[in-house]
Chains A and B, each alone.
Chain A
Amino acid sequence: MITLKINGFDVEVKEGATIYHAASSIGVKIPTLCYDERLKPHGSCRICVVEVEGARSLMASCSTPAANGMVVHTESEAVVTARKELLDLILANHPLDCLTCEKAGRCTLQDLCYQYDIEESTFDGKRKSYEKDASNEFYTADQTKCILCGKCVYVCSQVQNTDAICFVDRGFETHIGTPFDMGLSESTCVSCGNCVAVCPVGALMPKRKEKFRYWEVEKVKTTCSYCGVGCQMELLVKDGKVVEVEPVKGHSNDGLLCVKGRFSYDFVNHPSRLKKPLVRKNGVLEEVTWDEAYETIVDKIKEIKAADGPDAIAAFSSARGLTEENYLMTKMMRAVIGTNNVDHCARL
């Protein structure tokens, strides 16, 4: 074990833990832009710098291992000055369009500028300007807003393992791109949106069908309803409607989703959803009350049971429904109708 002091508190961590881990373990928050626990430390953004007594310079806490006897200050004057300088530099090349930016309300850059009182950049230099890449069906990539933290590139190459995007060009021209800058639709991108989920600014954004602000939505944690992986996700709800889906770190998905779980939720609020029971009359399905639909089914069950016995009735339960619903379906068939003729599509 390693013992160090952070902001005056003694901390004990395992060998190999970083200063950032050590601080987190006692609830001390250090701001980050490029950090993600799933990635190999890359220390790109430097916003997590801290002061280590005796060190020659400030250290990036996300990639500096904690050492015995370290005395660390996470919000000292030197640290705050450095963070302000960094934010000033980032803003020198980032549009101040927070009024209309869809990321507003959950933009880490916005939050940090607020925290450290940075209103605008003091530098007046050349600014980058790129055309937005909207070629992917589900999200856009706006390099003009990118702060080059690299999180998207590393999530794509180390966590999602798709290698669709990378750093392109050098120096001022550096940007995140696809091979030959042909656009996302021509890349190996699988539209999982896992890069979008980690972008700390508004450079990578889901294509929205509804206008909403992040502070207007309620988040509900649930389990994805597509394949059997059981990914954990949050449904973002505004005015009784699911307006976006975001990945959550669950045991089976490690914070990832795929294109279906992430972007194919339109069915929930689709106008062609069934809203009333239907019963076939004179060859046509007609809207009826629940009472009438129930009566039709119950009469038929009784009629067939009386004439041909319960085994003349069969049911297909559903691998799409809840566990509880499958239980009740089998109970209805077995205990109430009296047959074991119940199966589902496990074979199909």
Chain B
Amino acid sequence: MTNSIADIQQADTIFVTGSNTTESHPVIGAQLKRSVRNGSKLIVADPREIPLAAEADVFLKIKPGTSIALHNAMMNVILEEKLQDETYIRENTDNFDELAESLKKYTPEYSAEICGVDADKIREAARLYAGVDKAAILYCMGITQHVNGTETVMSLSNLALITGNIGKPGSGVNPLRGQNNVQGACDMGALPNVFTGYQPVGNPGALEKFEKAWGVTLSDKAGLTVTETFKAIEEDRVKMLYIFGENPMISDPDTHHAEHALQKTFLVVQDLFLTETAELADVVLPAASFAEKDGTFVNTERRVQRVRKAVKPPGEAKPDWVVFMDLMNRLGYEKKYNDAEEIFEEIRKVTPQYAGITYDRIKGRGIQWPCPTTDHPGTPVLHIGKPARGAGLLKPVEFVESGELGDEEYPLVMTTGRILYQYHTRTMTGKTEGINNMAPEVYVEVNPELAAAKGIEDGAMVKITSRRGFVTMKAKVTDRVEKGVLFVPFHWESGANVLTNGEVLDQYCKIPGLKVTGVNLEKMA
């Protein structure tokens, strides 16, 4: 997030898109609703009538994968009605003229056709967003999990920049991160192209710095992403895969393909349970849970917070860092750490954003990076005064329909997401009886009109087919989704991800287009 969670209370308008906030981030959802009830305006764009839609001043039930068309049309209206922040554009952005030119064709009527919503509602949303002092954008995987996910985020960034909604409280472009420490994992360079603090492996200065810090020679060649790794295994370029705390058998696209790759490679899995992925492993290592170790998690607003040991790990399970240290030592790299804090001290030395954060400073409350020195209070809002890169780059992006669509054999769009009563691949939530009673099994949401046309009754078993395979599940007949759209929560095995596409990826960040899958639906005999 460029801004902070508490900031939401200060926004005059909040634009929530591609985020089912009250179910996926319930505690932010509650704070968001409080802000709306205290007078903030709310725009919601989502292919489903999510619970937040009921609180919205404008609800845009867009077709999955059409966000770029919507954002471009909102900007078209903003420029047409002169609602942009001229001063901010002049002083803090690059490339405005090219952007403005690219937006000309995205009239509300043009995009309304693409998105399947009212042109006037797009106008209303644009005015609500641009006509106030502070407007915040909150988004999630509904924006990013597309083959043009990066460009969809760019279009949101354009929207924020031309209205000056960046670098001040109550504004910003705010991704809501879905896992407890996805921010920390990214910050630590658990990405194939960067070291900690996003220092590129291909940058000679950064490479030299880490070679010196770690006392070894390092590779400057960017590595493989998760999705590329499976392909590399198929092509015999990768022979061994070490997975720690992930369950790609459920969370990754195209399960059958992933399963094949996981079976083919020498697989090490380190986890709390014998997950669907661990069952395929050659070596399984028992890990300690969050309640069994000391350390830190970094939340979606970049706040580094303490995790504390409350109980002992079961049996011989160990904290993951102990396992990595042991393996490093056995591989000939002699470096010992007595506890997680010693590792954190090393992180501070090589990561400028973390340099000022210590365990002692975060014992009461966490600190938001960047925090360069020990007397720095941390940074609740990024890009104050000026964007970090000097001038915000306005990059024109065009709407392109996903290649998954337009096939007569697979005429419907399946989109995926989380529900309140389960979490990710159910490895943890699936162990609680009450949770399983509330959300016992996978289902597909089907619009009543589509259900009637196909003779599907509520609760009936249906078969969903995509180019990757088929799955069967119960139908939940609801007008929460439109006629051409199906929604399947992805938590369960042999579910949504059997159908999704793991082949076509976003050109910049290699994210798969999990939110748009071309499918067919049939009633089971």
Contact = CB atoms under 8 A, between A and B. Distances in A.
Nearest to B297: A223
A117 B446 CA distance: 62
A265 B188 CA distance: 27
A195 B37 CA distance: 19
Given A159-B34, A334-B219, A272 B273 contact: yes
Given A251-B6, A294-B326, A322-B184, A313 B242 contact: yes
A43 B267 CA distance: 62
A230 interface: yes
A191 interface: yes
B423 A264 contact: yes
A230 B37 CA distance: 24
Interface stretch (B23-31, B71-79, B123-131, B396-404): B23-31
A284 B78 CA distance: 63
Interface of A: 137-138, 158-162, 190-192, 194, 207, 218, 220-232, 235, 237, 240-242, 250-254, 256-261, 263-270, 272-280, 285, 290, 293-298, 300-302, 304, 308, 310-348
B185 A346 contact: yes
A179 to B, nearest CB: 16
Contacts of B6: 251-252, 254
Given A258-B420, A343-B224, 5 more contacts: A227-B25, A312-B238, A315-B242, A326-B185, A330-B195
A265 to B, nearest CB: 8
A327 B188 contact: yes
27 contacts: A138-B434, A158-B37, A222-B290, A223-B306, A252-B6, A256-B31, A260-B435, A264-B432, A265-B432, A273-B314, A277-B286, A312-B237, A318-B245, A325-B244, A325-B295, A329-B244, A330-B190, A332-B333, A334-B195, A335-B218, A336-B328, A340-B193, A340-B201, A341-B223, A345-B248, A346-B185, A348-B514
Which of B186, B295, B312 counts the most chain A CB atoms within 10 A? Answer: B295
Contacts of B145: 347
A218 B243 CA distance: 34
B429 A327 contact: no
A-B residue pairs, 4 tightest by C-beta: A275-B315, A230-B299, A318-B245, A137-B434
A297 B420 contact: no
Given A267-B428, A268-B289, A273-B272, A252 B299 contact: yes
B238 A260 contact: no
B222 interface: yes
B328 A313 contact: no
Contacts of B427: 267
Contacts of B511: 347
A265 B283 CA distance: 27
Interface string B326-339: 11101111000100
A345 to B, nearest CB: 5
Interface in B119-166: 144-145
Interface stretch (B95-103, B340-348, B447-455, B470-478): B340-348
Interface in B303-326: 303-312, 314-321, 324-326
Contacts of B509: 347
A313 B326 contact: no
A242 B311 contact: yes
A313 B246 CA distance: 17
Contacts of A229: 5, 25, 27-28, 176, 299-300
Given A222-B291, A315-B241, A276 B180 contact: no
Nearest to A235: B310
B116 interface: no
Given A275-B317, A343-B223, A322 B181 contact: yes
Nearest to B292: A268
Nearest to A236: B310
Contacts of A261: 27
A258 B297 contact: no
Contacts of A252: 4-6, 27, 299-301, 303
A345 B182 contact: yes
B429 A275 contact: no
B34 A158 contact: yes
Given A304-B266, A325-B319, A342 B190 contact: yes
Interface string B169-185: 00000001111111111
Contacts of B187: 323
Contact of A240 (B282, B283, B312): B312
Nearest to B510: A347
A226 B420 CA distance: 12
B252 interface: yes
A237 B283 contact: no
A259 B420 contact: yes
A319 B346 contact: no
Given A279-B282, A315-B242, A330-B189, A321 B181 contact: yes
Nearest to B380: A251
B184 A326 contact: yes
Contacts of B305: 223, 230, 232, 250
Interface in B408-425: 420-421, 423
A278 B278 CA distance: 10
Contact of B283 (A268, A297, A302, A326): A297
Contacts of B297: 223, 225, 230, 322-323
Contacts of A223: 180, 290, 296-297, 299, 305-307
A331 B283 contact: no
Contacts of B10: none
B301 A230 contact: yes
A314 B185 contact: no
Interface stretch (B42-50, B104-112, B225-233): B225-233
A323 B298 contact: yes
A254 B236 CA distance: 50
Contacts of B193: 340
Contacts of B311: 235, 237, 240-242, 268-269
A266 B218 CA distance: 42
B361 to A, nearest CB: 14
A334 B216 CA distance: 9
Contacts of B281: 278, 280, 285
Contacts of B25: 227-229
Contacts of B344: 323-324
A321 B244 CA distance: 8
Nearest to B318: A290
Contacts of B191: 342-344, 346
Given A266-B432, A280-B283, A337 B347 contact: no
A265 B514 CA distance: 29
Which of A300, A301, A302, A316 counts the most chain B CB atoms within 10 A? Answer: A316
B27 A231 contact: yes
A138 B4 CA distance: 31
